[in-house]
Structure 1
């Protein structure tokens, strides 16, 4: 039996809250959990909730994750076995640098983004491959739901059902209602940057770019119902077509309600989604960052959010052993209210925080191991899929008559 490990979690939002609660619920894997963020009071609030719900103690620290030396000093002080980055994607590279400086493995849930450009790609982190390999360290990228579970879903389908996956569609539906006129269920700045960026999908060896939210179709989601979903770009497409090169077409779809899109259009039209700085009363501000400050905090939406999420993969291709093409739909349904009862957070945070915990468990227990920088689909999916069933994100696979048409 592996010795329980020590995870240092950076970041104190809703995803972090879920991950830390779930780590504390598994002390046989996570013997020690340390939580650090720029705002110590947020860490202390999570630690108090964990103590109340599980009886476990979580140590807390204040840290500026943009400061490599300060982060390295904290790592040297607390001596973790793994750094779990649940801060913002802007901080991925500084935290990877701190891990290299101190000899500690690294895990995150989202790829690096430069602050001044809404650009979503793995190139910056993949460039760390040689440095992590030469240091004998492992970095696991994108251990959330999408990316993360959706990538594992694809590799599980390939392992158990397909000789070759020809087309892959990832569908993300949040059927929850939080009762707010306009709010985002995860970090507003990241959410709006993603939604307003041009859509891209992979087809026949090339990336095809289209205007944001220009392609829509309806889909009947299990336990949620029929919703409009829109094609957009998401980073797991890049890693999946790299590591499953037989894929001819890969697309990502996300649902949005009419009210959300109307608010977003107005905010765009008045310049509130801009990410370039402007000068106001002698001070430089970024409109989108100001908007984030006035919108509801996603971590505070759990108490009022009702409904379910449904996220999964639709794959079409040649079945094991050959024959006519088949289509499989592999998905998870998560209930907002059940997630809140367990961890005090809504399902969007839950569906990302639980896979972060599972990815950390895979690394601490040595189930997934290696030196260098890895994406989720590069490892055996079975132990991860087993833990999803055991820790609150059960999945189901169904046969479909046809691939997703568009």
Structure 2
């Protein structure tokens, strides 16, 4: 039984807190803080209505380290769960070190002024967390997160080595909007418009954003165009699966999304360079994010399924030669909304955030320092995916993927 403090009050946080409340045997007291307390209060009200559990709420600026330290000391949690924005990771980690508490997040650090996701800034905290006897678990979402656990489960149970790896992220849902993002618009658009990178033969290969497209038939969704992108778990997978010859990340986008994004990019609305407007300095992408539909409001209208998985090729564990396995989860937007009031993109990140938190507070995953998901035993995490809303399947394919 553990007390946890969750930072952030978007759709992912809402799912995570709902699922924590549904696991009362693990999470005895749940505290929720965000810059806007009314958002926390709305989540707390939904949790109370759905589960009968109370969630204590606070207002906090996650970038103000002294205020964060004071809040942590007031709550006295065994774990701080960072579901805020990626560029708030480091100040929250600083606060956790000063207040002597374990840390977890779902996305790696990104500077405000540069669209560049990298683990180096957080990996640099390893010795400080180790010396403090604390654990920091990075990237406990779906991708990154579950995709890394999928990979390590295959390596533990199916494949002695992994030669090729492809991560396929498909959102087959329709939210009925002309243009909207299914998670934080600012982070989503920064990801999509950044150059693509994949790991091949020991080095990073960079290509223009959205330049490589493949059509793939996804179970429970149908044929969709998926695009080669860079995603942060490629960095940790290349480090912790050293025999990888090639690792790629693919994400689906509809034609209408691509058209809208292209126009917005062409007119400068996706820029993160400050401009002067009516005597004030604004960042175009932040302004765009403010006028787009909030992801947490899309749950009621979104219909369809997500399908996220990993295809891995390598030497079979049983010595039977090279084999290819496809491990995936299919999640219904409607079912996610019925259970938590949020669509499946938030659900598929919020549930793994809860499971990662459960791994840490129960001691099933432990260690002093900064850790990625690949360094942990995949089995207890995989068990909770099945029991807590994200069941997975694994199948053997005829051979390596040809795209």
Q: Give me the TM-score of the superposition, normalised by structure 1.
A: 0.99
Task: Name which of 315, 336, 341 aligns with 1:339.
Answer: 336
Task: Name which of 207, 210, 234 aligns with 2:207.
Answer: 210
Task: Name which of 194, 198, 201 aligns with 2:198.
Answer: 201
Task: Name which of 47, 52, 56 aligns with 1:55.
Answer: 52
Write out per-residue CA displacement over residues 187-241 of structure 1, whole angstroms, 9 at most, x where no aligned residue.
0000000000000000000000000000010111111111110000000000011
- Quote the Cα distance in structure 2 between the aligned partners of 1:404 and 1:228: 16
The reply to whether residue 372 of structure 1 matches residue 375 of structure 2 is no
Task: Name which of 130, 134, 158 aligns with 1:137.
Answer: 134
The reply to whether residue 171 of structure 1 matches residue 168 of structure 2 is yes
- Quote the Cα distance in structure 2 between the aligned partners of 1:401 and 1:375: 31
The reply to whether residue 21 of structure 1 matches residue 21 of structure 2 is no
Look up the match of 1:315. Answer: 312
Q: List runs of 5+ in structure 2 lacking aligned partners.
A: none
- Quote the Cα distance in structure 2 between the aligned partners of 1:281 and 1:195: 29
Computed over aligned residues only, the root mean square deviation of the Cα atoms, in angstroms, reads 0.5
Write out per-residue CA displacement over residues 7-65 of structure 1, whole angstroms, 9 at most, x where no aligned residue.
10000000000000000001100000000000000000000000000000000000000
The reply to whether residue 180 of structure 1 matches residue 172 of structure 2 is no
Q: List runs of 5+ in structure 1 lacking aligned partners.
A: none
- Quote the Cα distance in structure 2 between the aligned partners of 1:26 and 1:236: 28
Q: Please state how far the C-alpha of 1:399 moved relative to its aligned partner.
A: 1.2
Secondary structure of residue in 1 paired with 2:225:
strand
Look up the match of 1:34. Answer: 31
- Quote the Cα distance in structure 2 between the aligned partners of 1:368 and 1:245: 22
Secondary structure of residue in 2 paired with 1:80:
coil
Q: Please state how far the C-alpha of 1:129 moved relative to its aligned partner.
A: 0.5
Moved over 2 A (4+): 321-324
- Quote the Cα distance in structure 2 between the aligned partners of 1:244 and 1:198: 23
Secondary structure of residue in 1 paired with 2:160:
strand
Look up the match of 2:41. Answer: 44
The reply to whether residue 12 of structure 1 matches residue 12 of structure 2 is no
Task: Name which of 391, 395, 400 aligns with 1:398.
Answer: 395
Look up the match of 1:280. Answer: 277
The reply to whether residue 235 of structure 1 matches residue 232 of structure 2 is yes
Count of aligned pairs between the two proteins: 403
Write out per-residue CA displacement over residues 313-368 of structure 1, whole angstroms, 9 at most, x where no aligned residue.
00001101323211100000000000000000000000000000000000000000
- Quote the Cα distance in structure 2 between the aligned partners of 1:50 and 1:71: 24
Look up the match of 2:96. Answer: 99
Write out per-residue CA displacement over residues 55-98 of structure 1, whole angstroms, 9 at most, x where no aligned residue.
00000000000000000000011111100000000100000000
